[in-house]
Amino acid sequence: MARRALKLASLTAAASGIYMYGNKFLDPNDFGIVRVGRAIATTAVITYDYLTSLRSVPYGTEEYEFLKSQIKELFVSFEDTPLGAASLAQVHKAVLQDGRTVAVKIQHPKVQAQSSKDILLMEVLLLVVKQIFPDFEFMWLVEEAKKNLPLELDFLHEGRNAEKVAYMLKNFDFLKVPRIYWELSTRRVLLMEFMEGGQVNDRAYMERNGINVNEISRNLGKLYSEMIFVNGFVHCDPHPGNVLVKKCPTSGKAHIILLDHGLYQVLSESFRMDYCRLWQALIKADMKRVQKYSRRLGAGDLYPLFACMLTARSWESVNRGIDQSPVSASEDMEIRSNAAAYLPQITQLLNNVPRQMLLLLKTNDLLRGIESALHTRASASSFLNMSRCCIRAVSTYQRSKSLSLYRRAQISLTEALSLWQINLYELFLWLKGSQLGNWVIALLRRMHHSTY
């Protein structure tokens, strides 16, 4: 049955492949750090290819009608027009014979054959550019493409990632990951539960549907802090088309729907611990430890630039404490102008840091873009959630390395006290910003004055 789905869905993709390059469906955010070289080098070639050879079954011919009749054996309905399309695949809505509504993700037929040529072309072009501009250090793009593109082209791998992250984050009841229908899936066709909602950066949609914007931003931060610091298994393509929000009609709770699980980064234990401790140092504005752990992560003497890139804050703000004040318009402008001025140093840094860092930097940028669209950037709650996850991750690691029962108990006590302090500080912030808190503060002041 899966083979039949592959054949029919692939041919359907051929018949509707032209939608890939319609402005309605092409998401510019899909071309991330791993695909950028490929996109620049071969867009014209691939466009021509999809518009000609992929439409190999002419619309309205006898063969086309025969394929349409075979599709009806699997689906009650199958929408020819894709819900969305990108560089590797497109997604159709369909209804199975048993009544289940599904999303059918179909890989473009020539992507497999074309991908190795694209990588080779990208490698040649980057080598040529490096000969002209010796400071141009972007060969890591080729290395990342060689490693990640074959994984993204294997939809069974994507399905396994979806199931793994759903199990890993099962304690978050607000997270929804589409169920995979394995009996109808192959390496090039993925059938999954159909889910819909508004894009996570659509503030207007949330306001119309009574969804708390701050809650969504806070919960998204929780998800990614858990993935990065605690589990070391990170969904690295959180652009708005892959993260949807929807209010549950029965419970009234807002759900976050996580889609497209092809691109994940697995973090080694040593990298994850250094990254945890670096963020702890950044949040505490401990410059000695910022320097120490930045160097351990390959930044060398460029550690101030590395800290600024991670936090998207100025060096002055990093020294003062990134949780002390939100990003101002002038600081944002300073960051943008410095990005161009320090391009050689940035390319050197990207070439020196561990490869695990590259997709994390991309992920951080995408998440910050969402926060900016929702006007929730640099909120105190996001840093508190990060701190909790870092404390838990480091404590778990320390316990695993300790043979002494007394030492493990000591680590657990320190962890509990640290988490309690964060909870107390969060309560203080909540009281400070709430009407109840203002009433309590006013009452305490009156009691203080009446005493004297």
- Return the DSSP state at 47: H
Alpha carbons 440 and 31: distance in angstroms, whole number = 51
φ, ψ for residue 259 (rounded to 5)? -115, 170
Report CA 436 to chain centroid distance, whole Å: 36
On whether the CB atoms of residues 150 and 166 are closer than 8 A, the answer is no
Catalytic site includes residue 237: yes
Amino acid sitting at position 12: T
Helix residue spans in 153-212 (DSSP H): 155-168, 203-208
Catalytic residue among 154, 237, 260, 274: 237
Number of H helices, E strands in the chain: 18, 11
Residue whose token pair is 């900016």: 372
Packed helices 269-284 and 380-401: angle between N→C axes, nearest 10 degrees: 140
Indicate the DSSP class of residue 26: B
Q: How many CB atoms lie within 10 A of CB 1?
A: 9
Instruction: Decide if 318 contacts 285 (C-beta within 8 A).
Output: yes
Q: Cα–chain-centroid distance for residue 433?
A: 30
Name the residues annotated as catalytic. 237
